[in-house]
Amino acid sequence: MLSCSWGGYINRNCRIKCFNRIEIGKQVAISENVTLWDSDVHKITGSTNSNTKPIKIGNHVWIGTNSIILKSVSIGDGAVVAAGSLVNKDVPSRSLVAGIPAKIIRSSVEWV
């Protein structure tokens, strides 16, 4: 199930692979070529990890071009994901994250 509460936008060439649950809040800006996957798709033999875990994107989040958001990630309200980031851990509200894997670069950010 893909759940969106709009007022924002999803730009071209985005890939949303929703096997179970992806929530997208209000006023979310998703740039070009962003990928959201809530599943690993394939299991690894002997692994006890869940193959699918939800993604939650809060309100007024900006996700930059060519970013990838993986399963079990929660992105807090007002956060910014820099272009080309691989997000595999939770992002606190009003934080700027960047890199592979994404790390907090700055706190208390605001964007318009």
Q: Which residues are known to be catalytic?
A: 42
- The DSSP annotation for the chain comes to -EEE--SSEE-TT-EEE-SS-EEE-TT-EE-TT-EEESB-SSPPTT--S-SB--EEE-SS-EE-TT-EE-TT-EE-TT-EE-TT-EE-S-B-TT-EEETTTTEEEESS----
